[in-house]
A and B are shown apart, each in its own frame.
Chain A
Amino acid sequence: MMLIAGQILLGCALLLCVWRAWRGPSAEDRVLALDTLYVNAMLLVLTFGIRSGTSLYFEAALVMGLLGFVTTAALAKFLLRGEVIE
């Protein structure tokens, strides 16, 4: 029961991040909202893994954590320099 409540809270957090990524006045706000979206979605996948009991969800969460960092670093580098690889 508490797991389902946590999943509902994480889903509402995802919606709030989507709102900020949609409305965000500057580009940095959108990147920040995207990074928070990644972490919240990873937590949601983790709670699905806890409910189901298989280890597949945990490997998916690991990949999501790594890809979220790569996305944020590449977008921040783009905002900083104007190009990703120089």
Chain B
Amino acid sequence: MSGLGEALVLLGAVLAFGGSVGLVRLKTFFERVHPPTMGTTLGTALVLAGSMVRFGTLHEILIAFFITVTTPIGYALLVAAARRRRRAP
């Protein structure tokens, strides 16, 4: 049971690392918006699932809810700002 939780945490960390590698490697800003979402959605979900296997408390559900609700709003605002700044000189 403990091995399953640790494997889930490791998989989530691999996803977050891949998202950061994409953030560094890709060329333009609108390409670079995509990779970090991999770490912020599935990476966070897997780490929290691993924590839930170990403990099983209410905190993980709260954190997953807040991250899932707030991250797309922040990225959408950021892309809107980038589009406006590139359109108007």
Contacts and interface: CB of A to CB of B under 8 A. Distances in A.
Interface of A: 1-3, 5-7, 9-10, 12-14, 16-17, 19-20, 26, 28-29, 31-33, 35-36, 39-40, 42-43, 46-47, 49-50, 53, 55, 58-59, 61-62, 65-66, 68-69, 72-73, 76-77, 79-80
B32 A50 contact: no
Interface in B41-89: 43-44, 47-48, 50-51, 54-55, 57, 59-60, 62-63, 66-67, 70-71, 73-75, 77-78, 80-82, 84-85
Q: How large is the interface on B (under 10, 10 to 19, 20 to 34, 35 or more residues)?
A: 35 or more
A13 B27 CA distance: 18
A69 B84 contact: no
B14 A69 contact: no
Contacts of A61: 59, 63
A36 B59 CA distance: 21
A76 B48 CA distance: 27
A72 B81 CA distance: 12
Contacts of B40: 36, 39
Contacts of B16: 9-10, 13, 39-40, 43
Nearest to B67: A65
A7 B47 CA distance: 11
A79 to B, nearest CB: 4
A62 B62 contact: yes
B63 A35 contact: no
Contacts of A16: 17, 20-21, 23-24
